[in-house]
Amino acid sequence: MAKAPRHWRSALMALVILPFWTSFLIRVYAWIGILKPEGLLNALLMGLGVIDTPLAILNTETAVYVGIVYSYLPFMILPIYSSLEKLDLRLLEAAADLGCHPAKAFWVITVPLALPGVIAGAFLVFIPAIGEFVIPDLLGGSDTLMIGKTLWAEFFGNRDWPLAAAVAVVLVAILVIPIMLFQRSQKDALVH
């Protein structure tokens, strides 16, 4: 998106944020229709002759991964796009003029300059994904174990509030510790 011509960038941005124009639950239920044994994915694969019997994707960890990636990918794309859009392409041209291989220029120039966007995207994805309970419940079934789903089950299903409170404290620690470490590293970077 960052290297696309300017007249295409708005359209590409619209494609990234297009899923947000519908309800989160509708998007998750759409994945149920796609991943179930008689769903669109199995029909497509069987129609192409890739498989003979339907794959059991729904109610697996794979379905949870698909749902989480689909739901939170825009939160990763947008900060990285913001960082890459500001990238001065003359730096890459200068590296090429000095004989730097494009792969090395990517790792030496592009990645360090895009790192703030990568970190911001990682936090924007990590924080809601760690507490996710809707996607694991609907796409993963009863055997899927995630901390958000466990917290929901202990509070509302088992009514075991002491255990749920302990799980909530662990969840808060899992969320706060990386943020504190990041802030400390940023503070140290400013001092040096």
Residues 34-67: pLDDT tens digits?
A: 999 999 999 999 999 999 999 999 999 999 999 9
Tokens of 127: 């924080």
Question: What is the model's pLDDT at position 192?
Answer: 64
Question: What is the model's pLDDT at position 41?
Answer: 93
In 3D space, the residue among 58, 22, 18, 23 whose CA is nearest the CA of residue 38 turns out to be: 58
In angstroms, rounded to a whole number, what is the distance separating the alpha carbons of residues 176 and 138?
27
How many residues are listed for the chain in this entry?
192
Average pLDDT over every residue of 107-125: 92
Average pLDDT over every residue of 2-14: 89
Q: What percent of the chain has pLDDT over 70?
A: 99
Question: What is the model's pLDDT at position 191?
Answer: 72
Tokens of 38: 């008689």
How open is the CA angle 45-72-177, to the nearest 5 degrees?
135
Q: Which pLDDT band holds residue 155 (cuts at 50, 70, 90)?
A: confident
In angstroms, rounded to a whole number, what is the distance separating the alpha carbons of residues 9 and 2?
7
In order, the DSSP letters of 21-67 are GS-HHHHHHHHHHHHSTTSHHHHHHHHTTS-SS----TTSHHHHHHH
In angstroms, rounded to a whole number, what is the distance separating the alpha carbons of residues 51 and 3?
38
Question: What is the model's pLDDT at position 118?
Answer: 93
Question: What is the model's pLDDT at position 79?
Answer: 94
Is residue 34 within 8 A of residue 115, CB to CB? The reply is no
Kindly list the domain boundaries of the chain, sorted by start residue: 1-88+96-128, 145-192
Question: What is the model's pLDDT at position 171?
Answer: 84
Tell me if residue 45 falls in helix, strand or coil. helix
Question: What is the model's pLDDT at position 114?
Answer: 93
Question: What is the model's pLDDT at position 161?
Answer: 87
Question: What is the model's pLDDT at position 100?
Answer: 92
Work out the mean pLDDT of the chain and round it to a whole number. Answer: 89
Is residue 105 within 8 A of residue 92, CB to CB? The reply is yes
Tell me if residue 164 falls in helix, strand or coil. helix
pLDDT of 185 higher than 90: no
In angstroms, rounded to a whole number, what is the distance separating the alpha carbons of residues 120 and 111?
14
Local structure of residue 155 (DSSP, 8 states)? I
In angstroms, rounded to a whole number, what is the distance separating the alpha carbons of residues 60 and 62?
5
Q: What percent of the chain has pLDDT over 90?
A: 52
Average pLDDT over every residue of 137-147: 83
What architecture is domain 1-88+96-128? Orthogonal Bundle (1.10)
